[in-house]
Chain A
Amino acid sequence: MSYHEFDCSKCIPERVKHAVDKNPGEELSDALPLGYLNTIPGSLSERGCAYCGAKHVIGTPMKDVIHISHGPIGCTYDTWQTKRYISDNDNFQLKYTFATDMKEKNIIFGAEKILKANIIEAFKAFPKIKRMTIYQTCASALIGDDIEAVAQDVMDEMPDVDIFVCNSPGFAGPSQSGGHHKINIAWVNKKVGQVEPKITSDHVINYVGEYNIQGDQEVMVDYFKRMGLQVLSTFTGNGSYDELRSMHRADLNVLECARSAEYICNELRKRYGIPRMDIDGCGFEPLSSSLRKIGLFFGIEDRANAIIEAETKRWKPELDWYKERLQGKKVCLWPGGSKLWHWAHAIHAEMGLEVVSVYTKFGHQGDMEKGISRCEVGALAIDDPNELESVEAMYKLKPDLIITGKRPGEVAKKIRVPYLNAHAYHNGPYKGYEGWVRFARDIYNAVYSPIHQLAFVDISKDEIATDQSFVTRQMLSDGKLSADVVNSTVLHEYTGEFDSLKRLRNAKYPEFPLQGKLAAV
């Protein structure tokens, strides 16, 4: 692989080692983009800050908690309702956000008094919520407010509440990833081990690095429960504060997003001997392998196989309907940190898409190792591109679709490239077998939307045909398909519900009575 120099970044020579072309015959040891470095002056990185990584990504998905930011209102407002980490308690943590609203006078005179007053006010406003997380921001960090001391004061006065303080101000790392690290280590240092859980199964896991975006966690937990596993805690999507204090009692940590949560898994491995198993929840084959190896660990692989068989039988014909129509479509897979490697091989193998570029906003070199290994030869791999580089890449690669975050997605829309939201999804969940079909459907709808042809028509000068009606997606997608495929009675479009979570939330699960601790397999 050779390093890729963007024309627009010739004036910033440091950028050249942040992008690589995957050429035939080359390997990771030939070239690997740099990553997770301080922002290069002049590069105008689009990364977020360490406060965002700690609070918005990891902290706030906890559902039974008041999440309060100690800082100016902008920090908390800009990280509110911009990520769809839903929960089964009517989305308390999405509906409400809290801030101490520090102003200039607090910078001069300190803000510990208003912090204490705000904490007590928040608990009184929501008397059923007894748990709180407090996030330090740049402002409160720079003036040295002792948030821990204030939190301890309140806990002494209100013994039924528990408060977790996360010291991860925005400047604490080069990107969101710095915040992930800080909150992982802070949680395992301060909170894990404080609660002894009730064990209801012989097979107990923590599900780590999963944030329940549009219900992803609920889909996966459904599979785990059907296997008879007890999910002691989820770090942190749809997760409960007190369950997360009992992580030390699991037999296995099942890790989804290694980028944001490998740190706590590694500490739990070191301190409590709990193994870490990295899995993929996306894609039929990767998910099947993941369920099977979890089953193998506990000696219940037959239960995993039963789920794999049933789900594959139900959803494969629908996935294949989209695969026939998406063959050869070019995609730029431009997510934040881990989806470049969760999705790159699966969308190629199972949806027929050609991944012409992968990137990571805040990932490390390890994410690039995984992503480049999983994408095909010819792909352009970029670390933290700025807007000019993204536009240059899109003009050069001419993708049919960008799968990225909402900020770079708006840039794609402006140059009329369809975009799908990789972080919060369009019509998720995207995990699981049904979720993967929903993802394929969203990709199909984006690529074949008739609006893309219409958007290029200039009514001031182009000839507008008056003898043709508007086309539909299927007219665009099926034109070159064989009659066998078009008329197939086996393959068909997605037939699931609009809200695929409803039946999961009312599901009943088989009983697997406790037989005592797991014997050696």
Chain B
Amino acid sequence: MEKTIKDGVESLMDYIMKNCLWQFNSRTWDRVEQNKNILEKATQIMCAEEVSKDTPSERYYWAEAQQMVESFLETFPWIKTMNATEIKEMMAGLKKRLDYQTITGSLNKELDDPNY
């Protein structure tokens, strides 16, 4: 299962980098918020947990996450065979990869500009 989770992380990472735009807002603080909130809500959706959508920003994060999860399930049907623990482990791994590529390991020098 460990190999499957690692492969799963790579597949989802490739999908996000190719198809999504939310992870590329232009400042470090913004990318930290985007990655955290959208992946958190995506995990909740995939684990059939309650998702908060009370404020406009929560509703936005949820909409991005919901659309992405629908595409995940269509493109990667193997996700449906995973249980909640495996999904959470995979999504945690995905967040780590995404945070590295888009934030901590990013060569984009504008990310640390304090203003927009």
The residues of A that contact B26 with a CB separation of less than 8 Å are: 258, 262, 364, 366
Question: How many residues of chain A are within 8 Å of chain B by beta carbon?
Answer: 42
Please tell me if the beta carbons of A293 and B110 are within 8 angstroms of each other in the complex: no
- Min CB distance B36 to A, Å, is 15
Please tell me if the beta carbons of B59 and A297 are within 8 angstroms of each other in the complex: yes
Please tell me if the beta carbons of B19 and A366 are within 8 angstroms of each other in the complex: no
Q: A495 at interface (Cβ–Cβ under 8 A)? A: no
- Min CB distance B106 to A, Å, is 7
How far apart are the CA atoms of A213 and B109 in the complex, in Å?
A: 31
Q: B4 at interface (Cβ–Cβ under 8 A)? A: no
- Identify which of A106-114, A120-128, A160-168, A369-377 touches chain B: A369-377
- Min CB distance B112 to A, Å, is 12
The residues of A that contact B64 with a CB separation of less than 8 Å are: 277, 293
How far apart are the CA atoms of A369 and B100 in the complex, in Å?
A: 13
12 contacts between A and B (CB under 8 A): A27-B101, A28-B106, A28-B107, A252-B60, A258-B21, A274-B56, A276-B25, A345-B18, A364-B110, A365-B109, A370-B21, A521-B59
Q: B83 at interface (Cβ–Cβ under 8 A)? A: no
Known: A293-B63, A364-B26, A366-B110. 17 other contacts (CB 8 A): A28-B101, A32-B107, A36-B110, A258-B24, A275-B57, A277-B64, A289-B71, A296-B62, A296-B67, A297-B60, A345-B18, A364-B110, A366-B24, A366-B108, A370-B21, A374-B18, A520-B53
Which A residues form the contact surface with B (CB < 8 A)? Answer: 27-29, 31-32, 34, 36, 251-252, 258, 262-263, 266-267, 270, 273-280, 285-286, 289, 292-294, 296-297, 341, 345, 364-366, 369-370, 373-374, 520-521
For chain B, which range describes its interface: under 10, 10 to 19, 20 to 34, or 35 or more residues?
Answer: 20 to 34
- Min CB distance A373 to B, Å, is 4
Please tell me if the beta carbons of B107 and A29 are within 8 angstroms of each other in the complex: yes
Please tell me if the beta carbons of B19 and A286 are within 8 angstroms of each other in the complex: yes
How far apart are the CA atoms of A56 and B38 in the complex, in Å?
A: 36
Q: How many residue pairs, one in A and one in B, have C-beta atoms under 8 Å apart?
A: 98
The residues of B that contact A36 with a CB separation of less than 8 Å are: 110
Interface residues of B in 13-37 (CB under 8 A from A): 17-19, 21-22, 24-26, 30
Q: Which of A28, A258, A270, A341 has the most CB of B within 10 A?
A: A28
Please tell me if the beta carbons of B60 and A275 are within 8 angstroms of each other in the complex: yes
Q: B54 at interface (Cβ–Cβ under 8 A)? A: yes
For B109, give the chain A residue with the smallest CB separation: A365
Please tell me if the beta carbons of B71 and A296 are within 8 angstroms of each other in the complex: no
Question: Nearest 7 pairs between A and B by C-beta?
Answer: A275-B60, A29-B105, A293-B67, A278-B21, A32-B107, A297-B63, A296-B63
Please tell me if the beta carbons of B60 and A277 are within 8 angstroms of each other in the complex: yes
Please tell me if the beta carbons of B101 and A251 are within 8 angstroms of each other in the complex: no
Please tell me if the beta carbons of B107 and A273 are within 8 angstroms of each other in the complex: no
Please tell me if the beta carbons of A278 and B22 are within 8 angstroms of each other in the complex: yes
For A297, give the chain B residue with the smallest CB separation: B63
How far apart are the CA atoms of A369 and B25 in the complex, in Å?
A: 11
